Chains A and B, each alone.
Chain A
Amino acid sequence: MYCRIISGAVFGMESDTVHVEVNISDGMPVFEMVGCLATEVKESKERVRTALRNEGIFLPPKRITVNLSPAYRKKEGSAFDLPVAVGIMSALGKLPKERIENTMFIGELSLNGRLNGIKGVLPMVAKAKREGISRCVIPWENALEGEAVKGVEVIPVSSLSDVVSFLSGKEIRAPERARKNSSEKTKDMDFSEVRGQEGAKRAAEIAASGFHNMLMIGEPGVGKTMLAKRITTILPPLSAEESLEVSTIYSVAGLLQKKEGIMTDRPFINPHHTITEQAFAGGGRIPRPGVVSMAHRGVLFMDELLEFRRSVLEVLRQPLEEGKIWVTRSQGAYLYPAQFIFVAAMNPCPCGYFPDFHRCSCTEYQIKTYMNKLSAPLMDRIDICTEVHRTGIKHLFSDKEEEKGKKGENSEKIRKRVIRTGDIQKERYKSTGIHYNGELKGEDVERYCYLEKKEKKFLEQIMEKWNLSVRAYEKICKVARTIAVMEESEKITLEHIGEAAGYRLEKGK
């Protein structure tokens, strides 16, 4: 009485098939599970035993051995409950064997036989498809993400009795499907809601066009977060491939079932400054991607940048340099993708109100010390710096009469331009591994941001005036390149360099 069931597991971002073997033989009545299992997998025994009993199936007084292979990989999570239960029923001859073949089973059982949602369904189903498995039986809660994988039959079930019905060839009664209209969330957010702030909005468009990292400086409560959130609405939509990539991260983190099956919108993540290093980078006993990976292909916004722990800011280095992050644990290291537009915000001075001298009395020295808290490696990765200020009636005798009532451009219009600049960059960097100007480094900057004599001289003047570093030089070049692309100009002009320099972060001497 032997049976072998296909199941799956996620190791970091990778998923793999796991085989669940069940053997029932005569001997002392024991139920044992082997195969390099974590505690929660061993506990599966009790859930399976009780769920089966509530299904009317009592375990016979025999020796039941369950083995999960391959044995060399540590198995974690509760996704094996279902395959173990199915394996036992099958070994007891209660299920037709042919229906079990070439089918993947994943899901966690409650004691009453209900099937609970699990993490990582998307990559596991995708793996099943790659392995040529024809059917996947998954928890109902994960239906949408499972069905996002095309070319494999997905059978969402809500209880163990559903599984039994299905395997006996009966119809499963389908519960109501609550498929939400995707991208509903971002539709109620638009760039036109940001009044004024023309400078900052322009900076945001440049950042979105070339995937440049950006810093906003401004007093508290002037709409830095509002602006940052709307950057996702002007970025090009995720490609099918990117969408699957992002969804996989969310699936592994167990956050996908709350979303709409598969992620079609670029994520916007804004961690609070009290966040721990682990939550930020990823990890934990059962490894899961951190905040930097949740922001993959989207925007990571860090308000009050200087308030974050130093160790957290330190974590940012690798993603900003390489677009991914290694999370090391005792069992090994996991690589998670983490490529995002980094958008940060900070106050202009310790009190927050410089240069509004009605409220700010910080000295030049205090302001300088405050700005110097930005670490050099972080500064090096920020291409664009802009100011966000109070709009509307500044004070009684302000030169401006009142807030300009005019609405800005809407996201759709800006997004069209951003997509266009993205396409030009794609063409330019075809088969180089580079996608956007923001990714250019070192030699690439020289190659792709060629300056003619006059322009080079102008930039050298700028370098000299503010005593700027080589890194600052490269950043101005990259941003100028993006501005040129935005204007569909092959040549980088004096104006492009001037504007890029106006958005530089380095204040210089």
Chain B
Amino acid sequence: MDSNGIYNNREIQYVAKGEPGYPKRLLHIPSPPKGIYYIGKLPREEAPSVAMVGARVCSEYGRKVAKTFGECLAKKGIQIISGMARGIDSIGQKGALDAGGQSFGVLGSGVDICYPKENLPLYNQLKKKGGILSELAPKIPPKSQHFPARNRIISGLSDLVLVIEAKEKSGTFITVDMALEQGKDVAVIPGRISDPFSKGCNELLKQGAYVVTSPEDIFDILSFPLDRKTDPFQMKEKTQYFLENKENIVYSCLDFYSKNLDDISNEVSMPVSEVLSILIKLELKGYIREIAKNNYVVNTENN
């Protein structure tokens, strides 16, 4: 009953392998899907596409990187392929869509199921501005055993797999192995050697993956016309904000890695009582975020 996409859900379309419109990139991977269900569009063949992968739980640094790369790549017309999972996946895709670009979500369930539920806004945006894809028939619920097969489609649809953050021995390695098997390039964002979220990334770099420190590096790898611009990662000059002097001092000591109240108070040499009220003001203004009780990071949404 699913061969021709005859569903009461009129949005869902289906293209079988061998039919016109079936993504050509998938023809070149081992065990290509028999067909693809989709809502919205399929990735364009002529446009370059990049898969963004990374941890579901990520650091503020990871958020920032995913968002910026999503935006910058999408602005250049690069399609962002990802799994719509929590964390890096959805942040990168959202970045791409917000920048007016295209993004495609490949699901481990039927295309009519939004998982995780909290990503419904993203899901709806993808339907309109990009596409939702799956090899699984509609109504099939997400199951953990679907995800490795789903990941092979993500890397299969991409020209390059970009790993943003990965812990040691994480699931990201499975995706990377598949990408290599499919002959795709793997590029990695390096991190601090002490950072648990970057352990896996640094490991991949040691194994010979591309080092990526700016979106331009990706254009290079994809041999894309260059147009070097300013560094998107430069934090805004603190003085650009209309912050009071003391707020400035406290804000300056924060970064993408969380710091607790005591550490901040020690660094800025102010009593905790004073620091706490300054932190609340900075939080109110949206410059920082409290990720755990009395643990603060610079807010990526605002930087």
Q: A residues within 8 Å of B by Cβ?
A: 196-199, 202, 217, 348, 354-355, 357-358, 361-365, 385-387, 389, 391, 395-397, 399-400, 404, 461-462, 465, 483, 494-499, 501-503, 507
Contacts and interface: CB of A to CB of B under 8 A. Distances in A.
B244 to A, nearest CB: 12
Interface string B270-303: 0111101111110110000011111100000000
B8 to A, nearest CB: 31
Contacts of A386: 293-294
Contacts of B295: 355, 387
Contacts of A495: 273-274, 277
Contacts of B261: 198-199, 387, 502
A363 B262 contact: no
B221 interface: no
A364 B57 CA distance: 7
A436 to B, nearest CB: 20
Given A217-B292, A495-B277, A498-B276, 11 more contacts: A199-B294, A354-B292, A361-B167, A363-B56, A387-B260, A397-B193, A400-B266, A462-B280, A483-B273, A497-B277, A502-B294
Contact of A348 (B56, B167, B196, B292): B292
B280 A202 contact: no
Contacts of A358: 196
A375 B173 CA distance: 40
Interface in B165-197: 167, 192-197
Q: Interface range on chain B: under 10, 10 to 19, 20 to 34, or 35 or more? A: 35 or more
Contact of A355 (B258, B262, B274, B278): B258
B276 A397 contact: no
A340 B260 CA distance: 29
24 contacts: A197-B262, A198-B262, A199-B261, A199-B265, A217-B293, A354-B292, A361-B57, A362-B57, A363-B86, A365-B116, A386-B293, A386-B294, A387-B293, A389-B260, A399-B263, A400-B266, A465-B284, A483-B273, A495-B273, A495-B277, A498-B279, A499-B274, A499-B276, A502-B279
Nearest to B56: A363
A488 to B, nearest CB: 14
Interface of B: 56-57, 59, 86, 116, 118, 167, 192-197, 258, 260-263, 265-267, 271-274, 276-281, 283-284, 290-295
A465 B284 CA distance: 7
A110 B115 CA distance: 74
Contacts of B293: 217, 348, 385-387
A197 to B, nearest CB: 7
A202 B272 contact: yes
A462 B283 CA distance: 9
A505 to B, nearest CB: 9
A498 B193 contact: no
A397 B273 CA distance: 28
Contacts of B279: 498, 502
Contact of B194 (A363, A395, A404): A395
A357 B260 contact: no
A343 B281 CA distance: 28
A357 B57 CA distance: 9
A507 B290 CA distance: 9
